[in-house]
Structure 1
Amino acid sequence: MDRRTFISTAGVGGAAAALAAPALAQGAPKVQWRLTSSYPKSLDTLYGISEGLAERVSALTDGNFTLQVFAPGEIVPALQALEAAGAGTVECAHSLGSFNIGKDPTFAFDTSLPFGLNTRQHNAWLFQGGGRELINEFLVPHNVYAIPSGNTGAQMGGWYRKEINSVADLSGLKLRIAGLGGNILSRLGVVPQQIGGGDIYAALEKGTIDAAEFSGPYDDEKLGFVKVAPYYYAPGWWEGTANVGLFINLDKWKGLPPEYQAALETASSATLVDCLAKYDARNPEAVYKLVAQGAQLRTFPDEVMQAAYVEAFKMYDEIAGSNEAFRKIYEPWKAFAEKARTWNRVCELPFDYFLATKINQTTEAKPAP
């Protein structure tokens, strides 16, 4: 792909303006980085964002800045990707910040909070609401710099061997779940399990776990969960959106030429848009395929949703009371979320709800009287 063509057609972010032709003249330094992913190669969406990012960065820099992509286990395990970037084992990683809540629950803000923002609201908070600045300030002691670089959109609630009819059914349930959703569900009796994406199927098949959430229909079909756990629940309230971060070793980021920093920013923005578009285009067809394969669609009972919601915000207040880093982000995040939801209720929610009621209805256009 020609660099100038790429820049003129990418259409995402303002960083492209910094990449005028003279900025990458001959003689630009050769830089080679390693990028480790938290996702198996079988996922052309989440693993694919790493390959897409590498292609875009190379195109933007006339091949002078290259990223070599590694799958989980080739350098470090899936759940150690961010830590590896901070330690300098690799220069960067594609992962969820929420995989690291065991170190500090504040990591969850980069990904999303349960019962938090939807995808557009989360992007608005990150790019225009001060979210990125707050997150990267938090990440300094961990020696990483984060750039939003992918997103799944709203996720499903996972695959279950047995139906969930009440809060009582959660007691003792061994559920693979990442992020603060697991902490919330543990307060309702669930036993959360942290397992990398490539290892979930085997754990479900062997009965090591009773249920698993991962992503949405397109990814879940590829991983074959329907074969071992037929009940497919919605919504995944713990991930109403899931931002995938490009976590870069902070020292390497600071030492990168400005034009290469701009290339990473621009390429990451284009990769995020492409990733989300893939999910929005492919999930609808995938859910039909899963139902044909035996998936039984279910929604969580209102009793479960209400109990989880109450526990979520009770937990946030508790964490904010003892964790200054969490509180520093939570308070402005909460204020932003309240305004965003109010606007959504005024306009977009009525529009979406009206159209949702028209599914499978045939309407005939009639001339105005």
Structure 2
Amino acid sequence: MERRSFVRSAGLAGVLAAGVAPAVHAQAAIRWRLASSFPKSLDTIFGAAEVFAKKVSEMSGGKFTITTHAGGELMPPFGVVDGVQNGTVEVAHTAPYYFFGKDETFALGCAIPFGLNSRQMTAWMIEGNGLKLMREFYKQFNIVNFLGGNTGAQMGGWYRKEIKSIADVKGMKMRIGGFAGKVFEKLGGVPQNIPGGEIYQSLEKGTIDAAEWVGPYDDQKLGFNKVAPFYYYPGWWEGGPQLDFYINSKAYEGLSAENKAIVECAAAVAHTDMQAKYDAKNPGALKQLVAGGTKLFRFPKDVLDAAFKESMALYSDISGKNPNWKKIYEDYAAFRRDQNLWFRFAEAGFDDYMQSQKL
């Protein structure tokens, strides 16, 4: 009897009884590469890519593997969007605001001056319209994005001299990430966009006068305290910067429903893991920095007020020129307004009281 006819007429029981096994088509193994914008020395921010890859492998039983590559290994740290867009790599892990030069709207997927804090950003993305709106925008770049971590509110950076007023910002050359440089420039500063792995050398050589990165844990590892004594807070330009996993659209659509779910879940784990690491590691690092002679200061109010004013003016100006920005920023701003109304009571009230206590 012809085999196919036999299997059809005999049914499963008959097939098993006859010792004839139906053909099984094993799913082919998937091998992807991930290009990061960050150096391997930063176990917090580069580490999120490693957590993501590890979880993808574990959940797929090793059938879906992703190799992680530090900034500069496969392509320049700021070349990863082009790499994903063109299909050179399947995934990138990066800070979206690095690419505001392509379109200012990229910054809304990460952080803008006086924007959302980390919890608010996650809420906008998952329960608000953030993820939907950003994915619509990223389609033109052949990208599907997933939340890839958050540092929490950042510090305001390291300075060679004390900042006593807004006048001290004039002419200052500062490494300041992405979109925030536009506001810093309005304040009279000279922004420099430098990858994390190159900041120390620039600060040490005096090529720049100041630099910001993330916060105490990373900053200490990068050695900024050795070349600039003044450490300021808060990082008004980064209240809750979100990292993203950018996945090539064609590669993502080629996945099975099961593997798409694995990617989503692995990204969620990495997103949570990154902020947990920063929140756990920053307090001890800050204590060590201050004990080692770092001079800790809050930005003068006139600096914050001037930066806030210039930021709001900038957003209004961009909205008049960039329809991508206008559409998403209007939703973002409305969400921010409601979030601040809520956070000012429960969260801020609790935090303000607790931080005034001697525990």
Q: TM over 0.5, yes or no?
A: yes
| Contact 2:96–2:106 (8 Å) recurs in 1 | yes
Structure-2 separation of matches of 1:29 and 1:266: 21
**Equivalent residue letter for 1:43:** L
Paired residue for 1:83? 82
Residue matched to 2:40: 41
How far apart, CA to CA, are the structure 2 residues paired with 1:83 and 1:169? 37
Tell me the equivalent position of 1:137.
136
Q: Are residues 26 and 112 of structure 1, via their aligned partners in 2, closer, same or farther at CA, if it must alter by over 3 Å?
A: farther
* Aligned position for 2:147: 148
Q: Distance in 2 between matches of 1:292 and 1:40?
A: 27
Query: In structure 2, what is the Cα distance between the partners aligned to 1:119 and 1:74?
Result: 29
In 2 relative to 1, CA 179–281 (structure 1 residues): closer, same or farther, beyond 3 Å? same
Taking the TM superposition and a 5 Å limit, the aligned residue runs for 1:226-245 are: 226-245=225-244
Report the counterpart of residue 106 of structure 2 in structure 1: 107
Map of 1:347 onto structure 2: 346
Matches of 1:27 and 1:282 in 2, distance apart?
44
RMSD of the alignment, in Å? 1.1
Q: How far apart are 1:255 and its partner, in Å?
A: 1.3
Structure 1 distance, partners of 2:330, 2:153, is 23
Pairing of 1:257-296 with structure 2 (within 5 A) = 257-296=256-295
For residues 41-100 of structure 1, the C-alpha deviation after alignment (integer angstroms, 9 at most, x for no partner) is 100111111111111000010111100111111111111112211111111110011000
Contact 2:98 2:179 in 1 (8 A): no
- Offset of 1:26 from its aligned partner? 8.5
2:245 is matched with 246
* Gaps in structure 1 of 5+ consecutive residues: 1-24, 363-369
Q: Secondary structure at the match of 2:45?
A: coil
CA distance in 1, matches of 2:48, 2:25: 28
CA deviations on 1:186-216 (whole Å, 9 max, x unpaired) are 0011100010000000000001111000001
Aligned partners of 1:215 and 1:56: how far apart in 2? Answer: 25
Q: Which runs of 4+ in 1 moved over 2 A?
A: 25-29
Deviations 1:141-172 (A, max 9, x none): 11111100111111000010011111111111
Shift of 1:325: 0.1
CA distance in 2, matches of 1:162, 1:95: 31
Q: Secondary structure of the equivalent of 1:239? A: coil
Measure the CA separation in 2 of the matches of 1:124 and 1:26.
41
Distance (whole Å) between structure 2 residues aligned to residue 79 and residue 213 of structure 1? 17
Q: Which residue of 2 aligns with 1:214?
A: 213
Pick the structure with greater CA Rg. 2
Equivalent AA in structure 2 for residue 31 of structure 1: I
CA distance in 2, matches of 1:169, 1:240: 23
Determine the C-alpha separation between the residues in 2 that align with 1:83 and 1:107. 14
Cα pair 2:94 2:243 within 8 Å, conserved: yes
Q: Distance in 2 between matches of 1:228 and 1:81?
A: 30
Question: Does residue 304 of structure 2 align to residue 305 of structure 1?
Answer: yes
Distance 1:26 1:352 in 2: 57
Q: Could you report, residue by residue, the CA deviation over 1:256-278 in whole angstroms, capped at 9, with x for unpaired residues?
A: 21111111110110111111111
| Partner residue in 1 for 2:58 | 59
Superposition deviation, residue 346 in structure 1: 2.2
Deviations 1:296-317 (A, max 9, x none): 1111100000000010011001
Query: What is the identity percentage for the equivalent residue pairs of Structure 1 and Structure 2?
Result: 47
Distance in 2 of aligned mates of 1:272 and 1:231: 31
- Does the 8 Å CA contact 2:157/2:232 hold for their aligned counterparts? yes
Query: Residue 93 of structure 2 aligns to which amino acid in structure 1?
Result: H
Q: How many residues align?
A: 336
CA distance in 2, matches of 1:155, 1:272: 16
Counterparts of 1:82 and 1:165 in 2: how far apart (Å)? 39
Match of 2:192 in 1: 193
- Distance in 2 between the 1:338 and 1:29 partners? 48
Are the equivalent residues in 1 in contact too, given 2:180–2:237 (CA < 8 A)? yes
Q: Tell me if structure 1 keeps the 8 A contact 2:90–2:251.
A: yes
In structure 2, distance between residues paired with 1:26 and 1:291: 61
Partner SS for 1:115: coil
* Correspondence for 1:223: 222
Deviations 1:229-254 (A, max 9, x none): 11111000100011110011111111
**Equivalent position SS for 1:43:** coil
- Mapping of residues 306-321 of structure 1, within 5 Å: 306-321=305-320
